[in-house]
Structure 1
Amino acid sequence: MTLFVDTVLHEPHVRPGTMLPGCVHLRAGIRPADIEHVTLVVEASDGVTVIRHRVATGVQVRAGRSRSIPFLLPLPWETPVTRIGDRSLGPTSVGLRTLVAGDAGAGAEKEDPEPDPMAVHPLPGHRRVLDAVRRLGYRLESTGFGHRSLPGVRRSLPFFQEFRFRPGPRHAGPSTGLRVAVVANPVGVDAVVETEGPDGALEQAHFTVRHTDGPPAPDR
Structure 2
Amino acid sequence: MWKKFLSKLGIGAAKVDLVLHRPHVRLGETLEGEFLLEGGSVAQQIRKLDVLLQLEVQAEGKVYRRTAAVIPVASSFTIQPGERKVLPFSYTLPLHLPISRPTVRYTFVTHLDIADGADAYDQDAIHILPPMALEQVFSVLSALGFREKATSGSITPHGQEFAFFPAGEFQGVVQEVEFFALVEEEGVRLYMEIDVRHGFGGEREMKRELFISNEQLRDPAASARLLKEAIDEAVHAAGSFAQPSGHSWATPHSPIYGHPAGHYPSIHHSHHGGHGWAGAIGGFAAGMLAGMVAEELLDDVVDDIADGLDVDDWFDGGDGFDGGDLL
Does the aligned pair in 2 maintain the 1:123–1:211 contact within 8 Å? no
Which secondary structure does the structure 2 equivalent of 1:176 belong to?
A: strand
What residue in structure 2 maps to residue 140 of structure 1? 148
Quote the offset at 1:146 in angstroms: 1.3
Q: Quick check: 1:7 aligned with 2:15?
A: no
Higher mean C-alpha deviation, range 35-44 or range 4-13 = 35-44
Q: 1 CA distance for matches of 2:185 and 2:88?
A: 26
Q: Is the 8 A contact 1:24 1:70 kept in 2?
A: yes
For the Cα contact (< 8 Å) 1:190–1:209, is it kept in 2? yes
**Change over 3 Å in CA distance of 1:109–1:200 after alignment to 2:** farther
Is the 8 Å Cα contact of residues 50 and 111 (structure 2) preserved in structure 1? Answer: yes
Find 2:139's aligned residue among 131, 138, 145.
131
Superposed CA RMSD in Å reads 3.0
Task: Extract unaligned runs of 5+ from structure 1.
Answer: 83-88, 150-159
Q: Percent of counterpart pairs with the same letter?
A: 22
**TM-score, scaled to structure 2:** 0.51
For the pair shown, the structure with the greater C-alpha radius of gyration is: 2
Instruction: Quote how far apart the aligned CAs of 1:48 are.
Output: 4.4
**For 1:70-120, what per-residue CA distance to the aligned partner results, in whole angstroms no more than 9, with x for missing partners?**
1111111234444xxxxxx534433322122234xx2354311xx323243
Q: Is the 8 A contact 2:18 2:34 kept in 1?
A: yes
Summarize the alignment of residues 1-220 of structure 1 with structure 2, pairs less than 5 Å apart: 1=8, 2-46=13-57, 47-82=65-100, 89-103=101-115, 106-112=116-122, 115-142=123-150, 143-149=152-158, 160-171=159-170, 174-184=173-183, 188-196=187-195, 203-215=206-218
Residues 161 and 32 from structure 1, CA distance in 2 versus in 1: closer, same or farther, beyond 3 angstroms?
farther
Shift of residue 186, structure 1, vs aligned partner: 5.7
Please give the alpha-carbon distance, in whole angstroms, between the structure 2 residues aligned to 1:169 and 1:126. Answer: 21
Report the CA distance between 1:196 and its aligned residue: 4.0
Q: CA deviation at 1:44?
A: 3.5
Greater share of strand residues, 1 or 2? 1
C-alpha spacing 1:210/1:24, structure 2 compared with 1 (3 Å): farther
Instruction: Tell me how far apart the structure 1 counterparts of residues 19 and 87 of structure 2 sit (CA, whole Å).
Output: 10
Secondary structure of 1:126 counterpart = helix
TM-score (norm: length of structure 1): 0.72
Moved over 6 A (4+): none
Cα distance in 2 between the residues matched to 1:76 and 1:96: 15
SS in structure 2 at match of 1:133: helix
